[in-house]
Amino acid sequence: MPYEIGDKFKDECGVFGVFLNEPEDETDAASTAFYGLYALQHRGQESAGIAVSNGHKINLHKGMGLVTDVIKPDIIKQLKGNIAVAHVRYSTTGESGIVNAQPMVFHYLQGMLGIAHNGNLTNTIELRKQLATYGSVFQTTTDTELVANLLARYSQDKLEDGLTKCMIDLKGAFALIIITEDRMVGVRDQMGIRPLCLGDYEGSYVLASESAALDTIGAKFIRDMKPGEIVIIDKNGLKSSQVVNSPRCAHCVFEYIYFARPDSTLDGINVYQARRELGKQLARECNIDADMVISVPDSGTAAALGYGEESGLPFQDGLMKNRYVGRTFIQPTQSMRELSVRLKLNAVGKIVSGKKLIMVDDSIVRGTTSKQIVQMLRDAGAKEVHMAVSSPPTSYPCYYGIDTSRREELIASKLGVEEIRQFIGADSLNYLSREGMFKALGGNSEKYCDACFSGFYPVGVES
Amino acid sequence: MPYEIGDKFKDECGVFGVFLNEPEDETDAASTAFYGLYALQHRGQESAGIAVSNGHKINLHKGMGLVTDVIKPDIIKQLKGNIAVAHVRYSTTGESGIVNAQPMVFHYLQGMLGIAHNGNLTNTIELRKQLATYGSVFQTTTDTELVANLLARYSQDKLEDGLTKCMIDLKGAFALIIITEDRMVGVRDQMGIRPLCLGDYEGSYVLASESAALDTIGAKFIRDMKPGEIVIIDKNGLKSSQVVNSPRCAHCVFEYIYFARPDSTLDGINVYQARRELGKQLARECNIDADMVISVPDSGTAAALGYGEESGLPFQDGLMKNRYVGRTFIQPTQSMRELSVRLKLNAVGKIVSGKKLIMVDDSIVRGTTSKQIVQMLRDAGAKEVHMAVSSPPTSYPCYYGIDTSRREELIASKLGVEEIRQFIGADSLNYLSREGMFKALGGNSEKYCDACFSGFYPVGVES
Amino acid sequence: MPYEIGDKFKDECGVFGVFLNEPEDETDAASTAFYGLYALQHRGQESAGIAVSNGHKINLHKGMGLVTDVIKPDIIKQLKGNIAVAHVRYSTTGESGIVNAQPMVFHYLQGMLGIAHNGNLTNTIELRKQLATYGSVFQTTTDTELVANLLARYSQDKLEDGLTKCMIDLKGAFALIIITEDRMVGVRDQMGIRPLCLGDYEGSYVLASESAALDTIGAKFIRDMKPGEIVIIDKNGLKSSQVVNSPRCAHCVFEYIYFARPDSTLDGINVYQARRELGKQLARECNIDADMVISVPDSGTAAALGYGEESGLPFQDGLMKNRYVGRTFIQPTQSMRELSVRLKLNAVGKIVSGKKLIMVDDSIVRGTTSKQIVQMLRDAGAKEVHMAVSSPPTSYPCYYGIDTSRREELIASKLGVEEIRQFIGADSLNYLSREGMFKALGGNSEKYCDACFSGFYPVGVES
Amino acid sequence: MPYEIGDKFKDECGVFGVFLNEPEDETDAASTAFYGLYALQHRGQESAGIAVSNGHKINLHKGMGLVTDVIKPDIIKQLKGNIAVAHVRYSTTGESGIVNAQPMVFHYLQGMLGIAHNGNLTNTIELRKQLATYGSVFQTTTDTELVANLLARYSQDKLEDGLTKCMIDLKGAFALIIITEDRMVGVRDQMGIRPLCLGDYEGSYVLASESAALDTIGAKFIRDMKPGEIVIIDKNGLKSSQVVNSPRCAHCVFEYIYFARPDSTLDGINVYQARRELGKQLARECNIDADMVISVPDSGTAAALGYGEESGLPFQDGLMKNRYVGRTFIQPTQSMRELSVRLKLNAVGKIVSGKKLIMVDDSIVRGTTSKQIVQMLRDAGAKEVHMAVSSPPTSYPCYYGIDTSRREELIASKLGVEEIRQFIGADSLNYLSREGMFKALGGNSEKYCDACFSGFYPVGVES
């Protein structure tokens, strides 16, 4: 994520779909999808793509890079039709590269399919083997292609029935948007791990990973899709089926802590307010004597403001971010060791010098960046640097669509809190408790997947 | 074809494969494939690609553009392994664009497949429908993907048996090179419509569309693959099976007339010598009074030299070609109508002024370019311009892998020879006779497919 | 400025220079200049360049685009030497395009010159005419080329003397860094309109438009250059001359309000603290009844935090910024009018709904963006929207290096405050008073140029 | 020169200018210049550019690469006006890179100048020093910028008078096209070393390095410019002045042997016919017993055809050229030594096997390529390979605008003919005699510069 300070969990994917009833212009679906996708850019910067159906055929354009690099105006002009599905990707499974970019378009017995997927299936080895035995070939390592082959296997059934059978076969986290020549389908896994919501765009339906994408195009939020729900939208309107029922749901708690846009509301909770509450709860648990609260921008700012509010300490911009951080860098020479953080952040001496600081961040992955920031603050004259983290230690990998890197890279999987404090060189280090986290999120720990903190995986994982 | 004067049949595809027994360097297979492909550039300028197996996995790189644009040195470095298959493409079936570029790589029950194909299947609609009924999905409109799905359908069989079954199912023209993790396979259709030959590269096997590719890498020509033959090459050597037998073969006659490199020898006949013979035969049939023979460079030059030799008339470079013809042009303004030919060719007044010319070309497609050249020669002072064509009138479309455009664009499908002469404005127009053409090619018309001239299609075509 | 919400004054230029006494590596000067320039990216995104002297020759690389796009690692490798000057540009005078990019390198009687310039000369017509009369030719419309020709005119003198004569000839705003084969020169105009400071980088000297560039490379701030000062740095150290004396200085007040990085300290005042003070003063002057303070991110945030602090109202992120705003956009369709602001900002309904808001921004240029934001907040349910601007109305163009567009585009040059309020649709509109602005900046209005607010131009302008 | 077999003298530059009296469309001058330049592409492939005057201002576009890469249709649209000057460049003096690309545009006392130059001045050190003493600065190392500064020095004079003074100051080879806001000027050095001709384009004047450029745009050849002539074209027509007179002229003989397009006629002699005559004369001098004549394509072909005609031996295409030779290559692995020639050429075994060959080429520079070709022919079965060169040994460097590399790289400067024969491995080696060369070119050796063969330099060179 180019514009974020390093050492963060990498993003996953974002999906967006639109079914226009009466487009004014034949490229309206494509341009609506472009703007929706643009609003989801934070969910994946590796590749982008849009597939559009004109009633007879699905046309596709995708490429490596940011949405505005890939989907140029002259591309939009060629994507005519009233149904569109779009995708931004950060590779979580499958290899990187254009071959795995989404959406993907397939011809099968009943016509064409355009599929965009966010999440990660946990029984792919088994499913791919099964399908290959019947003669399927795979050109990629994506879950999307697997879903298409599975659906084609049931192609003698009606689409609704095929989708129902698929949902029973698929394990793991998935938020899918599928278009055919004349329909748009939304599918959410039975625990609702990854988000997907439904909106009303001037009388037409849209689907999006986050509600902020609805705001961007000027659509109204209708509701979140339910775990285990399939919606099929065609010219006659929307038909919903509750295909599988699960005793509990398991919304990803990290969407609130870091991934989602602060202006999105997911499954009833506004992300910015959740972060502010996490910061307030953190203040209640910490109780540290300091002169001011500062944040590691931008991801720690909402929690830092909450911390300030609850503790009564002033919030100050002690760390300034260079807003032009690009994606390619020259390797610093030996005399510029640890320069990379300074290129992105600057500690403002006039603010922090001689002060006792509480520095709030949303999480710690490897700890190396935190260590450099603490040192930079000390170099700028800070008297004390207390680090406060608005989530518990991240000790376990995610198998549901987030790139947590390998477990051995997570500092909290190897070291205790005091050891981490020593490593990053802070005067104190406080993580939010699991109880505190759930309290800030409304109190019901049963609603969430927090496997990265607890190691409790709500859906079984292939070993 | 950027470096050829317009109004030509478009090229088709070129394939190249190599199985190195003991590579000195782990990128030798990829770089050999690069050089082989480079030698086949004239067979397709739309896209290029190389797939390489390292014994465990097949890695692929492909892209739009010329071989040297797509396969850069840093790409080669990443393509490690001892077995490679490569492809250049000019789309004949399927849509243009990267999604249809080759080779394609597939995972199936038995592992991986890398496939490159030259030709055109004539029963794809039936085969695709059949495969879809069993659950196959297609991501492209290429024959290559169809071949992979068909092979996967037989994946419970041994590869040899699966290939044999495929060859029985597939109708039309196909020269296929397939690699698996540890083998290279060559397949040629039962009539041998498209060329494919086998070479010895320092003790290892190579396969190529044309023998010139063997020369370029310094390999020795072993033999042409036989119609209906499958060869499987692995670390134990080469195994050949003659799977289907056909009462006749049907080598594409246009390979000799225009497509193939003059320095290639296909199915026993050297292309340059064939063209020179076509020119000689043309001279025997024409018997025109003139001062000199000129050619439309470069495709007409070999025949023009042959014409000159047989007729005793001097050959002169009356038309000069601009060797830097690029691929993108500004639309000429109104005052520069018909400029496009002048950008590529120039009539040399000092040579042609006041002379009676015989202008030799290999074929006429739409006739518009010939018309402009004749006018340009007259403007330069030519007294008479007699056009002589070293093949018969092309009146019928090709269904075996050559882009002849639609039938209505072929001037000879609508107009008689005298009408064509009037259209192009020549003083006389002579085509080579079918009999003369076969005589120049060794006398046996039964060996060749000349459907584009005769309308007689050796393999049935889906209607 | 891609990452800022539209309708802002455009930036100007940034300059950076380094003279390394004993570089460890021969590309250290170039890479130091790269990092320094990177820290000044906000001052110009149109072009970037670095010129490096190796003692004998000055080599140059420049191009259109951001620093990281233009100065790639392989470029740095070729820029060997111990003296470097670098430049980022947003065109203020002269035409856009590579021909006007800086630094520029010149051969003259005494050897070579590399020049980077920030500012705008106000007597160029006269100077260019004078020089042309003596035989000078100009290849660009930049001030930089004019400075080089003027210096060459005095090339029979010693460099110090030539520079002194130049400074007497040049009128307007200029912060110049010049390198020769073996020296680095810094020059600041006699009123100190544009900033330029001196730093100590591990015992070597650096020059930069802003102190944040010193922090980024790890250099220590020594002092700001004095108005009318020339410093010449060579292997024997630094020599300063106070060439011209002015009864007053005239530091650009807009550097504090909007242009400079918040973490820079210019002529003794930290920019972030200045903005916070401007916000506090604004609160004192406004006295509006509201539920919360929000800012137009990012430029209004420091002032908004100051406003909140002074007024006791809570600061909230009612407007969220999409951090991925790129530089090229598809034109929205008719049904998406005024979408462009929504692509960059989103009003968070959960925060602003039903609330009385004070929205703080640093300035208003044309007013169109403010109008759209106010409407967006009302659409999100805001009960009242009061706009507060942390500077006076901008009614006059700048002639000293800032692109204020033409005067007729400045809304405050045509409309009174109440009319502007009506145009933007706010419930109230308050600008900071001139007196309040100077109070927040330390009280001495004599130190600053505030011509864009007052119309009082400290240096005469060619008519 | 990408499409030519390596080891050739590098090209120089090409210039083209047009003054349209009554353009139909305001981009006609630019598009005419584009087509004219395109026809001169063989004279320089490094950079291309066009400058156009609209009567008030000269606009310029230039860039690195081929004409069609640099001058795209959307560029033409922006180049409005009726006077254009264009340039293709292969750097001979000055450094490579965009900074030295031409045309160059200058502002001077009387307005603007657009200048394109082909050739090389031989007194630049002296002139630059003189100009610098008076205050000139130089941004490049090109002759073009020097010419502009010299002209500006005389800017108090009328243009005609300034040009006359310039011509007296300038030494060496130069063919210049200069445009002002309302005039086009052509200048040719006093010995006429580099070519420049005048044409009539539908009643308007054009200037071009070669007549083939006139043919391409459909203009009529009027005459070659005379050595020492200046022509000034404005709305009142053409005015010629014979400024300097020289006792002799000195047309570059290598233009006929290799550089110019075969379809150009320079100073009264058609290049193709000259090459054919050189080949005939070579046959008369050689008298070798052989089976056939072959050429090293494409540069040796005209001479080879002449050789065949004179000797009565048949001409055959024994060496085939790959028409797709691109500009970037992977370095061949060790096992592919000397592959580079095979990528470009292929010896056709069916033609050369068992035969005694005469291989004709236009010149030998380093000899390495000839050596590889001879070996390739032997590998293909040739019985004897006799090399015949249609020019004398090139033993001396050129100082008049051709990149002959350094003298020590010229094999003929170090070795005698028999030693060269041994190096290249031919059965015999014959060069054309100087006398024979002049005989083929019309007999008058006084008309030509043949310094590269004789070491006799017609104009003094700065030491």
pLDDT at A2: 31
3-state secondary structure B151-209: HHHCCCCCHHHHHHHHHHHCCEEEEEEEECCCCEEEEECCCCCCCCEEEEECCEEEEEC
Query: Which one-letter DSSP state was computed for residue D153?
Result: H
- Whole-number pLDDT of residue C354: 97
> So what's the pLDDT on residue B407?
73
Residues of chain C with CATH 3.40.50.2020: 272-325+338-442
b vs e for B314-332, b when ≥16 Cβ sit within 10 Å of the residue's Cβ?
Answer: ebbbbbbbbbbbeeebbeb
Name the pTM for this structure.
0.89
CA torsion angle D35 D36 D42 D43 (round to 10): -140
- C-beta of residue A426 within 8 angstroms of C-beta of residue A382: no
What is the chain C residue with the closest CA to A330? C73
- Measured in angstroms, the CA of D6 and the nearest CA of chain C are apart by 28
Q: How far is C27 from chain D (nearest CA, A)?
A: 21
Q: Which residues of C are catalytic?
A: 13
Q: Which ranges of chain B have pLDDT less than 70? A: 1-11, 91-97, 325-339, 404-406, 463
Q: Which is nearest to D391 in space by CA: D428, D436, D348?
A: D436
Contact check, Cβ <8 Å, D348/B270: yes
D91 pLDDT more than 80: no
Instruction: Compare all CA atoms of chain B with the CA of A107 and give the residue at the minimum distance.
Output: B138
Interface test with A, best of C1, C90, C346 (most A CBs within 10 A): C346
Site of tokens 């159906």:
A53
CA separation for the pair A392, C225 (Å, rounded): 49
- Interface B–D counts its CB contacts (< 8 A) at 179
pLDDT for res D239: 97
What distance in Å separates residue B267's CA from the closest CA in chain D? 14
Residue A358's φ and ψ, nearest 5 degrees, are -105, 120
| Sequence-distant (≥ 6) Cβ neighbours of residue D109 within 8 angstroms | C132, C133, C135, D152, D155, D156
ipTM for the complex shown = 0.89
Whether pLDDT at A91 is above 60: no
Residues composing chain A: 463
CA-CA distance, C208 to C216, in Å (whole number)? 11
Spatial distance between the Cα atoms of B446 and B251, rounded to a whole number of angstroms: 9
Using the Cα atoms of residue B116, residue B120, residue B123 and residue B124 in order, give the sign of their dihedral. Answer: positive
- A137 touches A89 (CB < 8 A): no
Token output for B447 = 């060996």
Interface of B with A (CB under 8 A): 60, 98-99, 104-109, 113, 128, 131-139, 141, 145, 148-149, 152-153, 155
Taken as a whole, chain D contains a residue count of 463
Distance separating alpha carbons of residues C177 and C147, to the nearest angstrom: 11
Higher pLDDT, D127 or D460: D127
Comparing CB atoms, the residue among B34, B262, B324 nearest residue D66 is B324
Q: What DSSP assignment string belongs to A162-180? A: HHHHHHHH--EEEEEEEE-
Of D24, D71, D76, the CB nearest to B334: D24
Q: What is each CA distance from A286 to A75, A388, A428, in whole angstroms?
A: 53, 8, 10
Asked if C touches D (at least 3 Cβ pairs < 8 angstroms), the answer reads yes
β partners of residue B51: B60, B85
Are D and B touching by the rule of 3+ CB pairs within 8 Å?
yes
Rounded Cα gap, residues C276 and C287, in angstroms: 17
Q: Helix, strand, or coil here: D306?
A: helix
Q: Which residues of A make CB contacts under 8 Å with B?
A: 60, 98-99, 104-109, 113, 128, 131-139, 141, 145, 148-149, 152-153, 155
Name all chains with 3 or more CB-CB pairs below 8 Å to chain B: A, D
Extended beta strands in D143-228, E state: 172-179, 184-188, 197-201, 204-208, 220-224
Chain A residue whose CA is closest to C4 = A323
The confidence score (pLDDT) of residue A245 equals 83
Determine contact, residues B299/B8, Cβ cutoff 8 Å: yes
Of D297, D369, D310, D367, the closest CA to residue D339 belongs to D369
Q: Which residues of D are catalytic, by number?
A: 13
What is the DSSP track for A279-290?
A: HHHHHHHH----
Q: Tell the CATH topology of C272-325+338-442.
A: Rossmann fold (3.40.50)
- Grouping H, G, I as helix, E, B as strand and the rest as coil, residue B91 is coil
Return the CA Rg of chain A.
23
Q: Has residue A290 got a pLDDT over 50?
A: yes
User: Residue B216: which of D39, D217, D342 has the nearest Cβ?
Assistant: D342
CATH 3.40.50.2020 domain residues, chain D: 274-328+335-442
> Could B113 and A137 be called an inter-chain contact, meaning their C-beta atoms sit closer than 8 Å?
yes
Q: How far apart are CA B179 and CA B2, in angstroms?
A: 31
CA angle C203, C267, C164 (to 5 degrees): 75
Q: Give ranges for CATH 3.40.50.2020 in chain B.
A: 274-322+341-443
Q: What is the C-alpha to C-alpha distance for residues C411 and D304, in angstroms, rounded to an integer?
A: 77
What backbone torsions phi and psi does residue C17 show, to the nearest 5 degrees?
-140, 150
Q: Which of A98, A105, A134 sits opposite B139 (nearest CB)?
A: A105
Q: What is the pLDDT along chain C (463 residues), one digit of tens a residue?
A: 233 445 666 557 999 999 999 998 999 999 999 999 999 999 988 899 999 999 999 999 999 888 988 998 889 999 999 999 999 997 544 445 677 789 999 999 999 999 999 999 999 999 999 999 999 999 988 899 999 999 999 999 999 999 999 999 999 999 999 999 999 999 999 999 999 999 999 999 999 999 999 999 999 999 999 999 999 999 999 999 998 888 889 999 999 999 999 999 999 999 999 999 999 999 999 989 999 999 998 889 999 999 999 999 999 999 998 877 654 444 444 444 456 788 889 999 989 999 999 999 999 988 989 999 999 999 999 999 999 999 999 999 888 887 765 677 889 999 999 999 999 999 999 999 999 999 999 988 999 999 999 999 998 887 6
Top-level class of domain B274-322+341-443: alpha beta
Nearest CA in chain C to D95: C59
Of B198, B220, B181, B201, give the one whose Cα is nearest residue B82. Answer: B181
- pLDDT for C4 equals 45
Partners of B27 on chain D (C-beta within 8 Å) are 333
Kindly determine whether residue A139 and residue B113, on different chains, have CB atoms separated by under 8 Å. Answer: no
Question: Residue D354 and residue A319: Cα distance in Å, rounded?
Answer: 82
Cβ burial of C63 (10 Å; 0-12, 13-18, 19+) is middle
* Closest-CA distance of chain A to residue C321, Å: 9
Question: A13-249 has which CATH code?
Answer: 3.60.20.10
Half-sphere exposure of residue C227: CA atoms within 13 angstroms, side-chain side: 20
- Residue C392 Cα, gap to closest chain A Cα (Å): 25
**CA nearest to B345 within chain D:** D216
At the top level of CATH, which class does the domain A272-442 belong to? Answer: alpha beta
What's the helix, strand, coil split of chain D in %, to 5? 35, 25, 40
Residue B188 Cα distances to B175, B218, B227, B250, D187, angstroms: 5, 24, 6, 12, 64
Structure confidence by residue, pLDDT tens digits, D166-179 = 999 999 999 999 99
Contact D137 C105 (CB under 8 A): no
Strand pairing report for D448-449 and D251-252? parallel
The mean pLDDT value of chain A amounts to 90
Contact D332 B272 (CB under 8 A): no
Q: How confident is the model at residue A430 (pLDDT cuts 50, 70, 90)?
A: very high
- Residue C125's identity, in one-letter code, is I
B172-179 and B220-224: which strand pairing? unpaired
Closest CA to D112 of D83, D77, D89: D83
Structure tokens at A114: 């355009």
Q: Is there a contact between C152 and D136 if contact means CB atoms under 8 Å apart?
A: yes
CB C316 within 8 A of CB C356: no
Q: Do A3 and C323 touch (CB under 8 A)?
A: yes
Residues 6 or more apart whose Cβ sits within 8 Å of residue D137: C106, C107, C108, C113, C136, C148, C149, C152
CATH 3.40.50.2020 positions along chain A are: 272-442
CB-CB under 8 Å, B322 with D216:
yes
Indicate where chain C has its CATH 3.60.20.10 domain(s). Answer: 13-249
pLDDT at C330: 46
Among D105, D128, D152, whose Cβ lies nearest the Cβ of C136? D152
Higher per-residue pLDDT: C404 or A119: A119
CA distance C321 to C318: 10
pLDDT value, residue A301: 93
Chain C CB contacts of A347 under 8 Å are 215
**Interchain proximity B152–A132, CB inside 8 Å:** yes
In Å, how far is C261's CA from the nearest CA of chain A? 8
A463 residue type, one letter: S
D166, amino acid identity: C
Q: For residues B358 and B378, what is the distance between their CA atoms, to the nearest angstrom?
A: 13
Determine the residue among A62, A64, A137, A147 to mutate to test chain B binding: the one whose Cβ has the most chain B Cβ atoms within 10 Å.
A137
Are the beta carbons of D109 and C99 separated by less than 8 Å? no
> Using an 8 Å Cβ cutoff, are A321 and A296 in contact?
no
Q: Which residue of D has its CA nearest to B262?
A: D320
Q: Give tens-digit pLDDT for D268-306.
A: 999 999 999 999 999 999 989 999 999 999 889 999 999
**What would the two tokens of residue A222 be?**
């209708």
D and A touch with 3+ CB pairs <8 Å, answer no
Helix, strand, or coil (residue A274):
helix
Q: Report yes or no on chains B and C touching (3+ CB pairs under 8 A).
A: no
- The string of pLDDT tens digits covering residues C181-205 is 999 999 999 999 999 999 999 999 9
The residue assigned the tokens 């941004």 is D139
In degrees rounded to 5, what are phi and psi of residue D153?
A: -60, -30
- State how far the Cα of A210 lies from the Cα of A260, in Å rounded to an integer: 7
Q: What's the pLDDT score for residue C406?
A: 65
Reported as half-sphere exposure (CB side, CA atoms, 13 A), residue A102 has a value of 39
Q: ∠ CA(D140), CA(D144), CA(D150), 5° rounding?
A: 100
Nearest to A66 among C3, C28, C324 (CB): C324
Please compute the mean of the pLDDT values over residues A368-397 and round it to a whole number: 95
Q: Which CATH class is domain D274-328+335-442?
A: alpha beta
Give the CB-side neighbour count of residue D90, counting CA atoms within 13 A.
20
> Rounded distance, CA B389 to CA C396, Å?
76
Which residue, chain included where needed, has tokens 């006739």? B367
DSSP string, D251-300: EEHHIIIIIS-TT-EETTEEHHHHHHHHHHHHHHHH----SEEEE-TTTT
Residue D40 reports pLDDT greater than 50: yes
pLDDT number for residue A365: 87
Residue D230 CA to residue D239 CA, distance in Å, equals 8
Instruction: Extract the tokens encoding D345.
Output: 């050429």
> If DSSP codes are grouped into helix, strand and coil, which group holds residue A305?
helix
For position A463, what pLDDT does the model report? 64
- The answer to whether A290 touches A357, Cβ cutoff 8 Å, is yes
Contacts of C153 in chain D (CB under 8 A): 135
Neighbours of chain A (3+ CB pairs under 8 A): B, C
Q: CA of A136 to nearest chain B CA: how many angstroms apart?
A: 6
